[in-house]
């Protein structure tokens, strides 16, 4: 479950200010966030994952107060509790697919790497149709395959929340639906909460709920955007 209360965030040396009175995403819910560029969709994902911290307000993920954590605690929380998928896949070019999937275990010592993780990785890759391509580098994979590797990387730590920033933005229509189906299947199978930022309105029917940043009332103070209280102040169930 994701709970946000009275959140205010501003990037340094920027007029942009995100003000979010309240937002709640229930556990296992599939939420799409849409809106024009620059309205703060990616910033919201960064706030939920603890990459940035709000100037004020609260961000709770599965009961954990992300906004109140230290830097290192937020990193540990992020790598264990959040699975992140990016538009550009962001695979490491010098690693093969298997090493990319296992990347979280290489870069954070709080995660324990053992044979079961390796087995999980192989099973996950198999499920994603990557079984024969694990030894290939990112450049040797198609875009759809690269995004599948990125999804495996997001899922390998068994996070409770998956945050995807335009995961289909770089994919052709066939791959777009294939990838979305895979994300939905995995999220459903593991009971994971899914928050996807997208510009693609065609994929919205697959989500439980869509939050449209554009439809919310925007406060006009120095470019400040704010989600209106009538739509976003719904109480968490």
Partner 1 sequence: MKGIFHLAWKYVLFHKLKSLILIACIVLTAILPIAIKLMVWQFNQKIVARAESTPAVIGAKGSDLDLTLSTLYFKTGSVDTIPYAEVAKARQDNLALAIPIHSMFTALNHPLVGTSLEYFDFRGLSPKSGVLFTTIGDCVLGSKVAAALGVGPGDQIISDRDNVLDLAGQSPLKLTVAGVLNESRTPDDWVVFVDLKTAWVIQGLGHGHQDLTKEKSDSPILISRDDGKIVANKGVASYIEITPENIDSFHFHGNMDDFPITSIIAVAGDVKNETILQGRYDSGSAKVQFARPAVVVRELMSMVFRVNQFFNANAILIAISTALLLVLVVLLSLRLRKREMETMFKLGCSRGTIAMLQVGEMGIIFGVALILLSLAVWGIWLISGDVVESLLVNSQ
Contacting partner 1 (CB under 8 A), which of 3, 29, 99, 145? 99
Using the contact rule CB under 8 A, the part of the chain among 9-17, 93-101, 188-196, 229-237 near partner 1 is 93-101
CB 18 within 8 A of CB 73: no
State the Cα–Cα distance between residues 137 and 134, nearest whole angstrom.
8
Shortest Å, Cβ 87 to partner 1: 12
Q: Using alpha carbons only, what angle is made at residue 110 by residues 103 and 86, rounded to the nearest 5 degrees?
A: 35
Q: Is 229 in the site for partner 1 (CB under 8 A)?
A: no
Give the residue from 7, 4, 5, 17 showing the smallest Cα distance to 225: 17
Q: Is 92 in the site for partner 1 (CB under 8 A)?
A: yes
Helix axes 173-190, 143-155, angle to 10 degrees: 10
- From residue 20 to residue 59, what is the string marking binding to partner 1 with x (rule CB under 8 A)? -----------------------------x-x--------
Using the contact rule CB under 8 A, the part of the chain among 24-32, 85-93, 116-124, 225-233 near partner 1 is 85-93
The continuous run of DSSP H or E covering 195 comes out as strand 193-197
State the Cα–Cα distance between residues 3 and 203, nearest whole angstrom.
24
CB 199 within 8 A of CB 169: yes
Residue 46 CA, distance from chain mean position = 9
State the Cα–Cα distance between residues 210 and 201, nearest whole angstrom.
10
Contacting partner 1 (CB under 8 A), which of 113, 142, 173, 221? 113
CB 181 within 8 A of CB 120: no
Give the residue from 43, 53, 101 showing the smallest Cα distance to 77: 53
Q: Is 9 in the site for partner 1 (CB under 8 A)?
A: no
Contacting partner 1 (CB under 8 A), which of 12, 37, 70, 93? 93
Q: Which of residues 149-208 bind partner 1 (CB under 8 A)?
A: 153
Contacting partner 1 (CB under 8 A), which of 103, 134, 141, 178? 103
Shortest Å, Cβ 69 to partner 1: 12
Q: How many residues bind partner 1 (CB under 8 A)?
A: 28
Contacting partner 1 (CB under 8 A), which of 1, 5, 10, 108? 108
**Is residue 213 classed exposed, middle or buried when 0-12, 13-18 and 19+ CB atoms within 10 A define those classes?**
buried
- From residue 53 to residue 82, what is the string marking binding to partner 1 with x (rule CB under 8 A)? ------------------xx--xx-xxx-x
Residues forming contacts to partner 1 in the complex (CB under 8 A) are: 49, 51, 71-72, 75-76, 78-80, 82, 84, 86, 88, 90, 92-95, 99, 103-109, 113, 153
């Amino acid at each position: 479950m994701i709970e946000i209360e009275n959140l205010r965030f501003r990037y340094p040396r920027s007029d942009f200010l995100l003000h979010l009175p309240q937002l709640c995403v229930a556990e296992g819910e599939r939420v799409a966030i849409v809106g024009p560029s620059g309205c703060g969709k990616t910033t919201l994902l960064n706030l939920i994952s603890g990459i940035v911290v709000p100037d004020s307000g609260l961000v709770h993920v599965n009961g954990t107060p992300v906004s109140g954590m230290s830097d290192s605690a937020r990193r540990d929380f992020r790598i264990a509790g959040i699975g992140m998928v990016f538009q550009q896949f962001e695979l490491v070019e010098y690693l093969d697919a298997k090493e990319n999937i296992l990347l979280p275990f290489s870069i954070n010592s709080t995660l324990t790497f053992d044979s079961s993780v390796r087995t999980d990785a192989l099973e996950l890759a198999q499920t994603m149709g990557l079984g024969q391509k694990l030894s290939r580098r990112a450049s040797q994979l198609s875009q759809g395959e690269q995004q599948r590797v990125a999804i495996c990387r997001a899922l390998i730590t068994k996070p409770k929340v998956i945050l995807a920033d335009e995961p289909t933005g770089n994919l052709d229509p066939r791959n777009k639906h294939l990838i979305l189906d895979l994300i939905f299947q995995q999220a459903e199978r593991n009971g994971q909460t899914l928050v996807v930022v997208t510009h693609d309105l065609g994929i919205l029917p697959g989500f439980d709920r869509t939050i449209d940043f554009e439809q919310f009332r925007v406060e006009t103070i120095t470019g400040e955007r704010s989600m209106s209280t009538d739509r976003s102040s719904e109480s968490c169930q």
